[in-house]
Amino acid sequence: MTLLTFLLWCLLLMFCWPLAVVALIFFPIVWLICLPFRLLFNLAEALLALIKTILFLPARLLGHKS
């Protein structure tokens, strides 16, 4: 997938270099904007896994295999 992305970017650079330069400049900015949302998603996923573990604890103590 990475090689294909690189080849598509090179193709964009050949045909429309100003758009490729703008994409190259704005990609890190978009990545930084998305970073807090990815961290919140990971936090929510961890909290849901903790709640699931706490809810299934009595069944595991009674010997239920899942």
Q: How many residues does the chain have?
A: 66
Mean pLDDT of 21-28: 88
* Residue 48 resides in a domain: yes
Q: How far is CA 41 from CA 19, 34, 49, 50, 58, in A?
A: 31, 11, 12, 14, 28
What is the pTM (predicted TM-score) of this model? 0.58
pLDDT at 1: 64
Average pLDDT, the chain: 90
Range of the domain at 40: 2-61
* Residue 25 resides in a domain: yes
Q: Which position has the higher pLDDT, 48 or 64?
A: 48
pLDDT at 41: 97
Number of domains in the chain: 1
* Residue 66 resides in a domain: no
